[in-house]
Every structure is written in structure tokens, then in C-alpha cells.
Amino acid sequence: MKIHQFEDQYLSHYSYAILSECESKIVLIDPARNPQPYYDFAAQNGADIIAVIETHSHADFVSSHVEISQATKAPIYASAHTGASYDHIPFDEGSSLSFGKIVLKPLNTPGHSEDSISIVLEHHGIAKAIFSGDTLFIGDCGRPDLRESDSDASSQREKLAAKMYDSLREKILPLDDAVVLYPAHGAGTLCGKALSDANSSTIGQQRLTNWSLQEMTKEDFVQKLTTDQPFIPAYFPFDVALNKKGAAHFRPGVESVKRIDLSSEQQGSLADGVLIVDTRDEQVYKKGHLPNSVNIMDGKKFETWLGSIIGPKETFYLTGDSWRVLERLIVRTASIGYEPAIKSAFLAGPARLQTPLLDQIHFRQNQHEYTIIDVRNPSEAIEDKIFESSISVPLAEIREKIGNIPFDKPIAVHCASGYRSAIGSSLIAALLNSQVQVFDIGDFVKEFSKQPTVS
């Protein structure tokens, strides 16, 4: 038996291939949007993919479960609670999937979502591993607030949090200490708030160190789990719905994105009101960029901020300094299902708009002459308020709250280290259409903050 872990470092996502070497058969769990790595693994091991298991309908990435099933004829296994419109075999407690000397048994573990299941792997009749999806992470458990967005959202999250309490104690904790834990996410995901950098653990280790498995009342657990959770990107509900029906095939979707050559003379042909996502380094962007553009740099959190700034029903342009970079970012865009929203991709060229550089000496001595905008998450702003006069406008909320930002003075934007402030300052400038000067405080903010920096 072999368990192979695949990692998407940008979305902090883990997926798995379980190989029965004696029968040369593979079962996949929670595959990412690009199916090719799983096909390659199967070919390298001379094995066939016989099944795909979804632990729940994912919010933070698009799964290739339907595409793989169509290509390999492998059935999809998912909880009957999923509400999926694709063909699948219901996989809930009492069911099992056997191949070689391996038996996979689902546990219904609602809490992150109603349809969440965790998969226990038995080898030679002994529980060896659990694939916990978004139920139990290393150091944390899944958040309960990614599905509910109506007027009853608060009540629904508390109900799910209470179910998480029961799932962890009734389904996970009874497992032996030696059982290896394989979660669907690691540190950096927005599906939890206190995850470890480790990519696997054991039930015994988590029993000792994971806050969510410690002795406490259900009321205390619910209060702690529902407090200070990260923001929810705009694309999350979109991805849940897409995963419930199954996304279009990955490679054709990427190839269908329109690539154009845009000369300086043709810049005026771009559609009015459509945001341009400029992925160049902030220093290059500031020296010359197109109107109505936002500087979401080619960084580790590109997908997260793209799917937070751009709504799932919008279109946008994608530009960068090389086709090599753009091709890679089109693939990353597809990992959250946004590739059809790219109106066209083109190389960035000379452009007339420039971002004014902050006079750091003047700013240090005359902060009262600026409207200072803090684009960090609310919990960060509360824990470490860097400038007393700053206004908190979280980056993901700038477009809806732009009317709340005074522009009677120059605007200076900050985060913790510079990445988010580059996005925020460029977005505010685009939305205000040069009505006021907008400065990016950038990494100069480190001279004012006493806290460790987080991008």
C-alpha cells in the first residue's frame, strides 16, 4: 500500500492517491482542478484509477472529480447529503470501498458543512489512517461559516459548530492514537484559523495539542470556533455550487482563454468598467499602468485575492510582464474556476498612469494630513492598531465600502508588510478615478508596527 500526498501550495490544499500495489488500483481523495498529476501518478505506478472520493463540496478550490470520472470511468463517491447533480455513489456510514487489502470506510462528520465525511483507511483489518477533509486539521478544525450567507447565517454557523463538537468527539477521538491524520488543508488556508505547517500528524498527537480536541463544554467550543474567523472570499459560494455540479474540463478551459497582443494605440479598445488585474511587481506597476487596474501581484495568495476582489459574475482582464507568467497565472485562475471570466490576457506595455511615491519623512511628521486606510483583517487591526487615526476597511470589502472612505485629504494605505496595501491602494485609486492622491505605505509600515508581519 502507498499513500501519496499532492499539494497545491497556493491554496494550501492536500489531495491524495491511495495505491493498492498488489492490485495496481488507485482511489483518489479530493483531487485539485488539474487532473494531470493524478494521471501521471497512475501511469508511473502502472495502476488504474478506480474511484474518486469527495469529502464535501469544497469552497476554496474547484475539484476535478467529474472530469476524472468521465475520463477513467471511475465512479465518484460522496455523501448523500451533498446534493450533487453529478452521478455518484452515496458514501456514508455503513458503506465501504474495498480494493486489495485496503478498506475505506466513511464517517459522517458534519461541522464544516452538513455533507462532510472523513475516510478511515483500514489495511489488513486495522485502522491506519484517516482522511479528514475539512473536519480536523493539524492544530485546528474546520470553520462552520463558509456556506451560510442569509439572514439566519449566525444561527446556522452555531448549529454547525455544535455538530463539529460532536463529530470530533464521537467520530474522531475514539480512533487509536497511532492512526495517521491526513487533512485536506494546511497552514495558509481560509478554511481554518490556526493550522500547523505540518502536512500530516497522528490522532494521538492531535489529542494532546489540538485545541479543538481538548476537554471543554459545547458552549465554550462553539464560542471559540465562531469567533475571529478569517474573511470569506467572494468566490467561495461560487465554488461550492460549481463543485456540486462538476466543473468543465481543465485543459480546454485554460486553452479557451483569449490571448491578445495589445499595442499602446489599442489600449483604448478595452471595455469600460472591466477591471484589469495587473500581476506585475508593485514597483514596476507604480511606474506605469492602465486606468481601472488593480495590482494583484504574482504571489502566493494570488488566487485568494483575485477571488476576493473580483466577484464570480464579473469579467476581468489579466495582464503581466511575460507570457510565461501569464500562462501560469491562467492555470492558477482556473484552480478557483475563474478562467471563463478572463475577458482576455495580454502583455503589459507602456502606460501613462503612475502611482505617486509616499514622502516618508513628510508622512512620519504629518500623519494627520493623510486619511490612513488599514486594509488588514479586522482581528489584525484590533490586535495591533498601528496608526491611531487609521480607518479599518478590510481589503476584501473595499469595493463595497469605497463610499465610506473620505477623500478630502490624500489617502495612505497600509497592511502588515506591503502585499495587500499594493492591492488596496491600486484598487482605491481605480475606484476614485484620480479624485485624490492615493499612496501605498508598503513595507515602510514595518517601522511603525511592533507586531510580526504577515502578508
Q: 254: exposed, middle or buried (C-beta count within 10 Å: 0-12, 13-18, 19+)?
A: middle
Provide φ and ψ at 452, rounded to 5°: -60, 145
- Where do the domains of the chain lie, and which CATH numbers do they carry? 2-236 (3.60.15.10), 248-347 (3.40.250.10), 360-447 (3.40.250.10)
153 confidence band (pLDDT: 50, 70, 90): low
For 198-250, what is each residue's pLDDT tens digit? 799 999 999 999 999 999 999 999 999 998 888 889 999 999 999 999 999 99
The model carries a pTM of: 0.93
CA distance 203 to 168: 11
pLDDT of amino acid 194:
56
Position 440 pLDDT exceeds 50: yes
3-state class (DSSP) for residue 240? helix
Average pLDDT over residues 407-429: 95
Q: 315: exposed, middle or buried (C-beta count within 10 Å: 0-12, 13-18, 19+)?
A: middle
CA distance 144 to 165: 11
3-state class (DSSP) for residue 247? coil
pLDDT of amino acid 262:
85
Question: Which residues pair with residue 99 across a beta bridge?
Answer: 102
Strands (E), 170-315: 180-183, 201-202, 259-260, 276-278, 293-295
